[in-house]
Amino acid sequence: MNELKPLANQESKSRFLNDQKNRLKTGQIINNKTMSFKFNGAKLNGFEGDTLASALLANDQVLVGRSFKYHRPRGIFSSGTEEPNALVSLGSDEFQEPNTKATTIKLFDGLTAKSQNHRGPLAFDFMAATDFLHPFLSAGFYYKTFMWPKSFWEKLYEPIIRSAAGLGALSGKPDPSSYDKGFLHCDILIIGAGPSGLAAALEAGRSKLKVILADDDFLLGGRLNSEKFFINNQSSDEWAKNAVAEIMQMSNVRIMQRTSIYGSFDHGIFGGLEIKYDHFKHNHKKPRQVLWKIYSKFSILSSGATERSIAFGNNDRPGIMLAGSIREYINRWSVCPGKNVVVFTNNDDGWRTVSDLKSNNIKVSAVIDVRKETTFHDKEMPVYTGTSIVDTSGRLRISSVTLSTGEKIPCDCLAVSGGWNPNVHLTCHQRGKPVWNDALNAFLPNNIPKTMKVAGATDGLLQLGEALKSGHLKAKEITELLGKKDSKSSAPSADNESVKNTSFWHVSESKKRCWVDLQNDVTTKDIKISFMEGFKSVEHLKRYSTLGMATDQGKTSNILGLAILAELSGKTIPETGTTIFRPPYTPVPIGAFAGRSRGKDFRPTRLTPSHNFAKNLSAVFVETGMWMRAQWYPKENESHWRQSVDREVLQTRSSVGICDVTTLGKIDIQGADSAEFLNKVYVNGFGRLPVGKVRYGLMLREDGIVMDDGTTARLDLNHFVMTTTTANAVGVFRHLEFCRQCLWPDLDVHLISSTEQWAQIAVAGPNSRKLLEKIVDKDHDLSNEALPYMGCKEITVCNKIPSRLFRISFSGELAYEIAVPTRYGNSLFEILMQAGEEFNVTPYGTEALGVMRVEKGHAAGNELTGQTTAQNLGLEKMMSKQKDYIGNVLSKRVELNRDNKIILMGFKPVDKSIELLAGSHFISKGKTACTDNDEGWMSSVAFSPILNHSIGLGFIRNGSNRIGEIVTAVDLLRNKQIDVEIVSPHFVDPEGEKLRA
């Protein structure tokens, strides 16, 4: 049985090979594992190591899609990220990913792909009728045609155009895949693992530098895998394999295959997208892609060059491909896209395709070289020099070419070589402007970032020997710059192939449409029309004609387009310039940018110490910044939030309630100059605040506007604890650090946040003292005399647990805030509930807290908007005249102190049954509701269960002198006008008797 197995495998393998019409019978790949995949539902086979494109071509699937605008049949054009045509949708349902390039997708067993942008079968697209309308659909057609009537654009024109044109579609469902991010650091980031990249990595690795070698391909080596060159007397692919093997052994080199470096940013930072699991059938719930932020000391850009096309009549038919790509399909994947090939070139490189076709016994029907003279000659086939192709024929696949001589040559594949463009993109992301090189007829890097070096074809060194040398040399230079010793190894050696070329961009005698940008259906005619209509700048041309847009970003078309523009304008290419290359170099999914920051992982969550307690009581939570705070604690019989909140307020005001107020910022301030420091940052004085006392403080910005407020307690002569609002906790701490470090560095003041250290619970209500007395250790006296209003103490609770007790009140009741180390916070909440049973204690949430503070007339976030002053808040008496403080000078500005300035007041509805609306604007009775008559606004509203009607706080001009006046609160958004009476902002206990009890 065992002996039969290989035979069975052999039979199976040859069946696979026979199924793949265009697969050559030689080459490494055919020894690999076989794989099956589906394209448009048809089951096809390929080999491990194939891309989807190579496998499709192997199966003679030349037609792979339809063009963007005209729905013309399109085939695979290239072999890499530059691909403009072969865009497919991968996967299905919610996993469907449109517009992926078949040329970059690694084949895996079970892959499913669909072609895009056609109605009906791919070979018979009903929308292909659009092509007949092409005389009307040139550049700017939409802009000019769909101007009238205006209302039709969104309702009629745009939906029709969108459904008729375009690329693939998203599933419309949430993306179920996960993504991740990461950070990497290195001495050198080498971008591209072609000849120069590998030479650089070998040298840098041997010199013990920390290297990251990134390449978007899954096989390292770049063109070494697709050419028949020799390096150090080894075949180029063998040399690449050995080089990679050596590099892989180096612990100081990190190889990142399938990683596209998509952007170059300041300070040597690069963005990289690593494909992790896209090439597997199952990802085992791992992130499919990782977005890396790479910090490099130096970088070597060795991203190679991209072949460009030539524009001639009907140059977009399936079977027309870049000559270098055909070479790659033959040499790397053992695939020849046709059996009868014509080669059309303007340079020597095209001839190498001729050579490789011939050495694989593939018929070359003709070579057409636009140059009158070439050094290449071949007697075995017709060679046409000084000739060009003016037209092609074949509906779903090229069947012949027509030469400028009128001769027609049958073929099933046309290899086109228009020269090579160095991939300079990453040198331009920081505004580097490439310069034109007449010898190469291409742009070369210029004004590149200081820590970037460019090697190989990217630097215009298209010959292999030169490319290898340059990679090696750049690595050596960086080694020296880093002060390290180089490896003393010499550069790999190879011959330099001939790369002569000429500046031939398009066949002007072609009468048919000549495509420049295949992805966007832009022809030479479109460029001419754009130019004629005044879009003469290359940037305008791009926007008007869409040249160079979308997924390929014009990698094969940009230079061609601007060369034609230059010709039209009578300028040189350098005078015409180029568009600005911006990140990303290759498309990056939005999901990868988001990484794992999705849903609940969008940002961290901060939990209060009593979170578990509140959760067990089914509290309804609200996000306040990152904090999750209990909003109210519903009871079983309560069906509406107001019932819960009203009960919590009434129970607190009648007996006692407890509330987690840990989220307020706490800043520990120590040092001999702490009091002086506080004097400088607060409007009111703190120098004479006695130890054991708390004071309300108001802090201004430099411009005299209120920054924040809160209480500050003096625990010791040189030790204060400041509280801030929850929202401004970080901002105030940052401000104080700035003051300490930059404004008054000589003061002996030290700050540290203690917000997280202490679980702080407000205990409010007439029974709050009695409740606390049950848990405070007996040697601490809580009587009004021992701890009066605005007093504080360091005490112990529940048998020697350290605690801080502040007699302060936000609710207006007799109230305290008790703090214990956070580890005891949840337990303290439970114990207060337990101990408070006899008082019918209630936990209350932020809603009840808000109601009670409105009833008491305390300003909060709605009032401290960054636009209000101490004067507006009615707190001008707090502003010390005895000392200087931040904001002092500018708070005296005339405009801020006018008699008719807005003042914080209370408001109650004339009709008590009406609910007030926050955001309403105040208009005097009888006046029109317009901006000119606007006298202020309602900042906070609440239903007061104590008063049994709605109440509000707000700012109104000259408010303190208008008590009793009726004004209208106008809300134009909700179309409400409510008559309200101006009252004192203190709705309950205006004299403060309760809190001093």
> Which residues make up the interface to another protein (CB under 8 A)?
178, 180-185, 210, 285-287, 290, 293, 295, 596-597, 601, 603-608, 612, 626-627, 662, 668, 670-672, 718-719, 746, 748, 750, 752-759, 773-778, 797-802, 820-828, 831, 834-835
780: left (phi over 0), alpha (psi -120 to 50) or beta: beta
Q: Kindly tell me which of 573 and 828 has the beta carbon lying closer to another protein.
A: 828
Query: What is the C-alpha separation between 956 and 976, in angstroms, rounded?
Result: 18
Q: Do residues 367 and 379 make contact, with C-beta atoms less than 8 angstroms apart?
A: no
- Map 20-33 to HEC letters: CCCECCCCHHHHCC
Smallest gap from Cβ 711 to another protein, in A, equals 18
Q: Which residues contact 837 (CB under 8 A, 6 or more apart)?
A: none
Structure tokens at 799: 């048998």
Q: Do residues 542 and 398 make contact, with C-beta atoms less than 8 angstroms apart?
A: no
In DSSP terms, which residues pair with 181 in a beta bridge? 291
Question: What stretches of 20-76 show up as alpha helix (H) in DSSP?
Answer: 52-58
Smallest gap from Cβ 180 to another protein, in A, equals 5
Q: Kindly tell me which of 475 and 776 has the beta carbon lying closer to another protein.
A: 776
Smallest gap from Cβ 314 to another protein, in A, equals 49
Smallest gap from Cβ 919 to another protein, in A, equals 31
Smallest gap from Cβ 290 to another protein, in A, equals 8
Smallest gap from Cβ 283 to another protein, in A, equals 11
Smallest gap from Cβ 611 to another protein, in A, equals 9
Q: Kindly tell me which of 638 and 794 has the beta carbon lying closer to another protein.
A: 794
Q: Kindly tell me which of 381 and 801 has the beta carbon lying closer to another protein.
A: 801
Instruction: Give me the phi and psi of 215, to 5 degrees please.
Output: -150, 140
Q: Kindly tell me which of 463 and 718 has the beta carbon lying closer to another protein.
A: 718
Smallest gap from Cβ 185 to another protein, in A, equals 4
Q: Kindly tell me which of 279 and 642 has the beta carbon lying closer to another protein.
A: 279
Structure tokens at 297: 């000391």
Q: Kindly tell me which of 310 and 782 has the beta carbon lying closer to another protein.
A: 782
Smallest gap from Cβ 841 to another protein, in A, equals 14
Smallest gap from Cβ 299 to another protein, in A, equals 16
Q: Kindly tell me which of 208 and 358 has the beta carbon lying closer to another protein.
A: 208
Q: Cβ of 254: how many Cβ atoms within 10 Å? A: 16
Nearest Cα neighbor of 174 from 590, 601, 588 is 590
Q: Do residues 198 and 220 make contact, with C-beta atoms less than 8 angstroms apart?
A: yes
In DSSP terms, which residues pair with 758 in a beta bridge? 821
Query: What is the C-alpha separation between 422 and 440, in angstroms, rounded?
Result: 9
Q: Kindly tell me which of 799 and 882 has the beta carbon lying closer to another protein.
A: 799
Smallest gap from Cβ 768 to another protein, in A, equals 16
3-state secondary structure of 422: strand
Q: Kindly tell me which of 186 and 401 has the beta carbon lying closer to another protein.
A: 186
Smallest gap from Cβ 596 to another protein, in A, equals 6
Nearest Cα neighbor of 187 from 261, 271, 298, 267 is 298
Structure tokens at 872: 């507006």
Smallest gap from Cβ 275 to another protein, in A, equals 15
Smallest gap from Cβ 289 to another protein, in A, equals 11
Query: What is the C-alpha separation between 214 and 678, in angstroms, rounded?
Result: 54
> Strand 211-214 relative to strand 253-256: parallel, antiparallel, unpaired?
parallel
Q: Kindly tell me which of 285 and 881 has the beta carbon lying closer to another protein.
A: 285
Q: Do residues 887 and 725 make contact, with C-beta atoms less than 8 angstroms apart?
A: no
Cis omega (within 30 of 0) on the bond before 149? yes
Q: How far is CA 782 from CA 88, 779, 806, 830, 951, in A?
A: 76, 10, 11, 21, 34
Q: Kindly tell me which of 654 and 757 has the beta carbon lying closer to another protein.
A: 757
Smallest gap from Cβ 763 to another protein, in A, equals 14
Q: Kindly tell me which of 363 and 774 has the beta carbon lying closer to another protein.
A: 774
Q: Kindly tell me which of 463 and 827 has the beta carbon lying closer to another protein.
A: 827
- Map 499-535 to HEC letters: CCECCCCECCCCCCCEEEECCCCEEHHHHHHHHHCCC
Q: Kindly tell me which of 273 and 323 has the beta carbon lying closer to another protein.
A: 273
Q: In what order do the strands lie in the sheet with 400-403?
A: 389-393, 400-403, 408-410
Q: Which residues contact 305 (CB under 8 A, 6 or more apart)?
A: 420, 421, 422, 423, 442, 457, 458, 462
Smallest gap from Cβ 823 to another protein, in A, equals 4
Q: Kindly tell me which of 181 and 540 has the beta carbon lying closer to another protein.
A: 181
Q: Kindly tell me which of 774 and 901 has the beta carbon lying closer to another protein.
A: 774
Q: Do residues 172 and 166 make contact, with C-beta atoms less than 8 angstroms apart?
A: no
Question: What stretches of 314-463 show up as alpha helix (H) in DSSP?
Answer: 323-333, 349-359, 425-428
Question: What stretches of 821-980 show up as alpha helix (H) in DSSP?
Answer: 825-835, 846-856
Q: Kindly tell me which of 777 and 911 has the beta carbon lying closer to another protein.
A: 777
Instruction: Give me the phi and psi of 825, to 5 degrees please.
Output: -60, -50
Structure tokens at 830: 């439970």
Smallest gap from Cβ 914 to another protein, in A, equals 40
Question: What stretches of 605-640 show up as alpha helix (H) in DSSP?
Answer: 611-616
DSSP for 153-207, written as a single string? IIIIIHHHHHHHS-S----SS-----EEEEEEEEEEEEE--SHHHHHHHHHHHHT
Smallest gap from Cβ 298 to another protein, in A, equals 15
3-state secondary structure of 878: helix
**Residue 594, Cβ density class (10 Å: 0-12 exposed, 13-18 middle, ≥19 buried):** middle
3-state secondary structure of 442: strand
